[in-house]
Amino acid sequence: MKQVTISNEFMTLMVLDYGAIIQKLLVKGKDGNYTNVVVGYNHPSRYRLDENCLGACIGRYAGRISNGSFVLDREKFLLYHEDGVHLHGGKEGFHQKYWNIEEVSYGDDPMVKLSYRSKHLEEGYPGNLTVNVTYRLVNNALQIIHEAITDRSTVVNLTNHSYFKLDDSPFIDAYELQLNCPYLLETDDNLLPTGNIIPVRKTNYDFLLPKEIGVQRLDTPFIKDMGNEKVAELHSAKSGITMSVFTNQPALVVYTPLDFPGICFETQNYPDAPNQPDFPNSVLRPGETYNNITIFKFDLVP
């Protein structure tokens, strides 16, 4: 397992070739000390047994697909599933693959670029898919770019699965969260979208104005305000760190596991879009390029 470390004046990023995992993201404080703002393991080998997809690239399709299948161009493709639900690309998704380290730059705006080639019918998906993930440090921000091309029509939905923690608290209940997401996707008992789109205002999922997360547990697909690239803001009063999330994707799945010291922001397309004709397009054709750009920006509040 290989590790790459890049740094600038404000941040240090450690990336593994296994799962294209973000192992550590260190943010410099006003006192000159660094805070690791992602949940992870010190020993890379532990990621092979991890079941939480810590820091990894998720694909070929992030989130859930119903009935363990989808129809594309009148052909049905059967995916790996458990009780009819396909999750995060299958039994051996991109988070469990070794990626190639294609490029590393240590100068201004340091970056590391990794690639993976997913073969035709891997986990049931059609087409040979070539995926690139680029991590770049730009001042006090981490930019993540997911790109993909295919030789046959397929479906694609990539995201990063880092769990963020802005201080050393064992829980995230006291974090203040704001989401520029006026709607959410209604889900059933299997967390699959029903197709209904629900306003969040005056519900337990209303984070349009900043408020403490509290005991509210989220595993929720929110719909972004498409007029605003900034989709979320997270603040820790204890550390003074504020993290802002920007994305070109239409949805944000916010995940806060029970008794866990982190929160996951999965910027992506709608879950189960391959089976929901009214959801945004998830199909990638030959000659097209899939592009997911997400930025995590860190500021220190006095």
Q: Which of 88, 95, 146, 161 is catalytic?
A: 161
Domains, the chain, in order of start with CATH, read: 3-300 (2.70.98.10)
Residue 192 confidence (pLDDT):
96
Q: Which of 122, 123, 233, 266 is catalytic?
A: 266
Q: Specify whether 266 is catalytic.
A: yes
Most distant CA pair in the chain, distance: 60
Residue 119 confidence (pLDDT):
98
Q: Which two tokens stand for residue 288?
A: 């097209």
Residue 215 has pLDDT above 80, yes or no: no
CA–CA distance, 13 with 142 (Å, rounded to integer): 9
SS3 46: helix
Exposure string for 84-114, b = 16+ CB within 10 A, e = fewer? ebbbbbbeebbbbbebebeeeeeeeebbbbb
Residue bearing the bigger pLDDT, 174 or 30:
174
Residue 30 has pLDDT above 80, yes or no: no
Mean pLDDT, residues 119-123 taken together? 98
Q: Specify whether 161 is catalytic.
A: yes
Q: Which two tokens stand for residue 276?
A: 């929901």
At 268, the pLDDT band (50, 70, 90 cuts) reads very high
Q: Which residues contact 100 (CB under 8 A, 6 or more apart)?
A: 17, 114, 115, 116
At 302, the pLDDT band (50, 70, 90 cuts) reads low
CA 248 from centroid of its chain's CA atoms: 13
Its pTM stands at 0.96
Residue 18 confidence (pLDDT):
98
Question: What does the DSSP assignment read for 247-291?
Answer: ESSSEEEEE--TT-S-EEEEEES-TTGGG-TTSPP-EE-TT--EE
